[in-house]
Homo-oligomer: A and B are copies of this chain.
Amino acid sequence: MTEAPTATGTREDGSPERLAIDTIRTLSMDAVQKANSGHPGTPMALAPVAHTLWRDYLRYDPETPDWPNRDRFVLSVGHASMLLYSLLHLAGVREIDADGKPTGAEAVSLDDIKQFRQMSSKTPGHPEYRMTTGVETTTGPLGQGCGNSVGMAIAERALAAKYNRDGFDLFDHDVYVLCGDGDMMEGVSGEAASTAGHLKLSNLCWIYDSNQISIEGSTSLAFDEDVGKRFEAYGWNVLHVDDANDTAAFARALDTFKATKDRPTFIVVKSVIGWGSPKAGSEKAHGEALGEDNVRATKKAYGWPEDAQFLVPEGVKEAFGGAIAARGKPAREAWEALFARYGEAYPEEAAQLQDLRRGKIKDGWQDAIPSFPEDAKGLASRDSGGKVLNALAPVIPALMGGAADLSPSTKTDIKGKPSFEPDNYAGQNMHFGVREHAMGSIANGMALSYLRSYTATFLVFADYMRAPIRLAAIMELPVVFVFTHDSIGVGEDGPTHQPIEHLATLRAIPGLDTIRPGDANEVAMAWKVALEHTHEPTALILSRQAIPTLDREKYASAEGLEKGAYILADAVGGEPDVILIGTGSELPMVADAHEKLTAQGIKSRVVSMPSWYLFEKQDRAYREQVLPPSVTARLAVEQGGSMGWDRYVTSDGATITMSTFGASAPLSKLQEKYGFTVDNVVKVARELIEKSKK
């Protein structure tokens, strides 16, 4: 198979197309070989496909790679990162800094490629958003790029519906994905594809690299379904290209995609992994350097100078980058001119779009945050969460999200607004279906395309969507992941639905702000913080059951939430004997225990601690003001597992937490069983004080 004739001709033909394709291939091989680490086979196989897509179809201006209406290219096969780095290099993409300013450097220089997989290089093992200009999303964990792409396509349709006007087609770009067998085996891609089919996202094109090889060997070992037929069942337009080297056939498929206006397109491309190398068609071409001898043999097969390394023949960059720029630059310039005229005709909308691009919300939005009066009966924090969301939605045009078929329970619908559906892309409420994993991945894609996306499901189902939550944190995307039904407060549904370990597992993710507000006013502050974040995702943890709204005349202001933890109520007359720490639905219980202790003449402090993440960001003075080192009798009360609380209660403290799974019963019975009662808080607090005085 190594020297099969192809429609693209051979190197000896002097075809500039083949020259560029082989440049991508050899750069990928050389970089992996130099690093002695990486994945050469897929870039070698897909170079013709990627080359055709970029040179002849992708609407992209290498000089302005952050132009909003550019087509998006998602490399869901993130391990094939050298394919993307080669493309960015050959296309002459220019680097943009974090403020959106050109640095004057190449996005990926040849030197960068030589630093593949080295510390602090712009060419890490898998493509990383924010690290390398032109990387539209961080990929590697399989299926995630597919999910992200659906979010990007949704965002394009939503922005078009919201902002396009007659004569002003500001948004009409497409989203292309390169994906592979691994992506197709992962359930998340199926969930995402089903969603895209339902939504008839005709701006979405997945190019499926069907190389029939997986790491353990032939895909026939585990995967022999008819993927194309499956996508037809999802409602996609399915096309086939029998040879990845047949660029003419692939171009025809792309033409069909461009002409298809009623559904997404799925192009099945048969390819040979490691094409042209002695390891071609074998799993051995996947995840390791080919070896020097094989690199030479492959170059020979390509008609390439065998000793040349990192060779970019003269004219290749010019031809490839030139073709892209010749299409993309005028398009971008025309768009800028259009946008300038739009700004005159629709100044408010234009200003909103400028804000979106900068990840900014128009000043004054915080004024819309509601406050809640004292209410002993109170309301579930999912309910107050819904109220806050609904109060904010009118002033934050970019806010868009929904639930995994649980909005009546999570209370995350924006009331009175239509649903985002194929017949109404102006709808604001997403129906993600019972697809938590894709929901997270789609929300990330929406955030990558300017939207302030949010998701919602029960906290226990955070388990289904950990991968995208983690990726939101890695990418520093300010997605808001709403999780309701946050404890044994779920009650009768029992252990499968009662989160125990989930607070800890979210708090453990670097860069994720996990906030568990303790009453309606803390919920309001939590939404404020979440939307002020520009580089952190938030996990917003809300209760199923009612929580009293605290009297903020009597207690400290809920604004303390912004510091992660604050003194809600303090002992009168000197240092407290004990510090009671509460979060979420347990905060009022702790406050009541404090009242009882006070009545018993015991000095206690109540610390509300909705966010460990924010608290850790405070300076030491503040942290020690809230939790003075001298007071080691500390009791944390939380209807979840104890993992991590030792940090705050110290070795002399204690927790009232869950050490087992829960049970199916009404909440009040569960609280008795597990010790979540005011009396038990008082009892344990007194024991701690006694112990600390010994």
Contact = CB atoms under 8 A, between A and B. Distances in A.
Interface residues of A, number: 111
Contact of A126 (B232, B407, B644, B664): B664
A94 B232 CA distance: 47
Interface stretch (A112-120, A388-396, A522-530): A112-120
B233 A225 contact: yes
B467 A463 contact: yes
A35 interface: yes
Contact of A230 (B142, B191, B234, B492): B234
Contact of A214 (B38, B140, B434, B464): B434
A228 B509 CA distance: 39
B37 A663 contact: no
B225 A198 contact: yes
Residue from the set A195, A408, A494, A632 with the largest chain B CB neighbour count within 10 Å: A494
B185 A187 contact: no
A460 B665 CA distance: 35
Contacts of A78: 496
B643 A643 contact: yes
Contacts of A491: 37
A421 interface: yes
When all copies of this chain in the complex are counted, the total is 2
B494 A500 contact: no
A130 to B, nearest CB: 11
A553 B72 CA distance: 60
A141 B433 CA distance: 14
A1 interface: no
A182 B493 contact: no
A473 B641 CA distance: 15
B497 A126 contact: yes
A565 to B, nearest CB: 16
A385 interface: no
Contacts of A256: none
A599 interface: no
Contacts of A436: 186
A185 B233 contact: no
Contact of A223 (B140, B198, B230, B511): B198
Contacts of A228: 233
B508 A641 contact: yes
Interface in A655-694: 658-661, 663-666, 669-670, 673
A66 interface: no
A490 B151 CA distance: 30
Contacts of A651: 632, 650-651
A474 interface: yes
B186 A434 contact: yes
Nearest to A218: B431
A118 B665 CA distance: 4
A510 B663 CA distance: 13
11 contacts: A117-B664, A128-B494, A185-B434, A185-B435, A216-B405, A229-B232, A471-B496, A501-B509, A501-B510, A510-B641, A510-B659
What 10 pairs across the A-B complex have the smallest Cβ distances? A187-B187, A124-B664, A222-B433, A140-B496, A501-B508, A119-B665, A463-B466, A229-B233, A230-B233, A117-B492
